[in-house]
Chains A and B, each alone.
Chain A
Amino acid sequence: MVRCSLIVMLLSVNAFAVVAHAQGPIVGDVEGGELRAFPLAVPDTRLAATSQDKKGDAELLSRVMRGDLEMSGAFQLLDKKSFIDTDGLDSADVRFGDWRNVSAQGLVKTRLTLQGSDYLVEVFVYEVASGKQVLKKTLTLPSADVRSAGHAAADEVFRAFTGEPGVFRTRIAVVKKVQGEKHVFTMDIDGDNVRQVTRGGGLNLLPSWSPDGRAIVFTSYRYDNPDLFEIGSTGGESKPLSRRPGLNTGGRVSPDGGRIAVTLSQDGNSELYLLDRGGSVLKRLTNQWGIDTSPSWSPDGSQVAFVSSRSGHPDLFMLDVGSGATKRLTFKGTYNQTPAFSPRGTLIAFTARDEHNVFDIFTLNVSSGEIKRVTQGQGNNEEPSFSPNGRLLVFTTTRNKAKQLVISTVDGSKQTVLPSMGEHTSPSWGPFAR
């Protein structure tokens, strides 16, 4: 058996060698290229024969799915007017030539069937060039939550083409002003399905998710001092974590979920500390004359990026949690703040004030130190946070006067302002849905 396999392998190699020789010698390397959004056709969701009265839900599902895929920046959705969807759903019934003619490279078809109190969402995904079916999957979701079904279908499509999990069912925590108070809310990534998390306590600020997505750590002035609290991501009772004198702010739970990096000023100066999940101090991380604040964990939990004024103005620094060794990361600009480590650990997104006194979003390549600009000429843009797959950023913007949220690709090539009412600050992108 092994011998047979070897013979087959050798024959295959020889056959390829003959083909390669017939094609000609390799005379050069074509490397790189401009990144281009993948042209994708997403026709309207069809309804099963038994569910023809659910047209509104089918339209909503299509709209949510298309919005998600467009927002991801990975796809360029073809205008629905540019094609007529009259062929079948299964690969044998799809006329790929027609889809090639409208320049689609990918094709997504969906069908909705009501079954009891659930919706069955059938998702068919094709690569048009090869006519290959890359996904055929049926999702079962509560019929009362069509939007979730749309997000789930978009996640499946994203994974089918990229091999990476989609972030369309994740949620974003944000601070909103409500009747003179500020509270922590969570929302879907398209700005819909907003839920209030904190209640009472006046000012509730700087939310940050636990890695399992079950809890949110935040700072509250409910006892007239900026103290650190923890609350369930769907609300409930707040649990105090640190009520030391002075500042107890900017708490960030470590990737393993066991520790919290936080800024405390109990000794008179703002320094970084490491707390356990109960709030007890494990370690003092910094001890400098300058203000040290805004910690952000590297994905492996070995390092913390933070802001320090020890260089004379706010700059980004990196701290090795084990050894305590610190190194300066930014040498450009005079006001660099709010660092956010990417989930891949390769980039740090941050806010910086440029020479025109405008705050914009930048990324710093951790290994090379290269800084790239994400936003420019669109009001003030601040407080970035990475999506859990590292492909997107959320940040605040004043481009339409009131502070709104923007979902942006990491290079800023695709930016979507979320429609919202009122001021939104301090967004924190939650982990993958479990």
Chain B
Amino acid sequence: MLSLVHPFLAVTTLPDAIVFAVAAVIIVAGAVGVIVERNPVHSALALVTTLFGTALIFLLLGDDFIAAVQIIVYAGAIVVLFLFVIMFLGVDKKEMIAHEPLKAQRPLALLLVLLAVVGILLLGAGAHYVLGASSSTGVANHQPGGEVAALGRAVFTTYLLPFEATAALLIIAIIGAVVLTKRHRDGTQESVPSSPYAGEDGTGEDDFDEDGFDGDEAGEAGYDEGGSEEGGSDDSDAREKADAMYGVDTDDVDATESSSERESIEERDSRDAIDVDSNEELIK
């Protein structure tokens, strides 16, 4: 157990120790859950557990405002964003670990992380360290208006430049997200991608995309048509056509397509070829 007690650091109450132990167990269990869970949704929920434990630690440290912000921003916004994207893209429980580019990575990672953490803990337990002079920005306690007012004052005076930099950062992040998720060729503004398997229907007419998958409206239309009209012969028809066209088209495929798809399985190749084919017909 870590029991380095500096006289001015010690907070000596038993309830504090109990709260710390409970919070630490919650945090570590949640973090292990994030790593171990196969399902990304379960990982996100384990992340919420860790965030609540962290908020508990903040409360234990007497930092009520940061604890509230932690719950509101992290658990309320960031994790919800994670869950939104997971639900949006479809949960894939399988993880492609059969194909391993670096064979020794996982055992080595485990070993090195264990070594590093144990080393840090041992160093921390046995060290005689000195904390330097404090309060370059003002003490937290005993200021008019309490802790939140003091924090606000610090953010808007001492940390004014970083604060404005975060404003710029947020704007850049928003613009980046918009640019990344926007479709900007051939005029179809489809900001919402379909489910990743929407391209399976194989009908060439509905695929306006430059890449392998349908857009949402087009994809759903394709689903409906696929459900009502075609039986399965259409599908194989399209695939044969794709096989025939593939050798011709590969050189004309533009940069958004290309070799990452080419090395994947043949079925996907043929599907892509259909899409590219329809694209070029549209362009002509």
> Are A and B bound to each other?
no
Residues in chain B within 8 A of chain A (CB atoms)? none
Residues in chain A within 8 A of chain B (CB atoms)? none
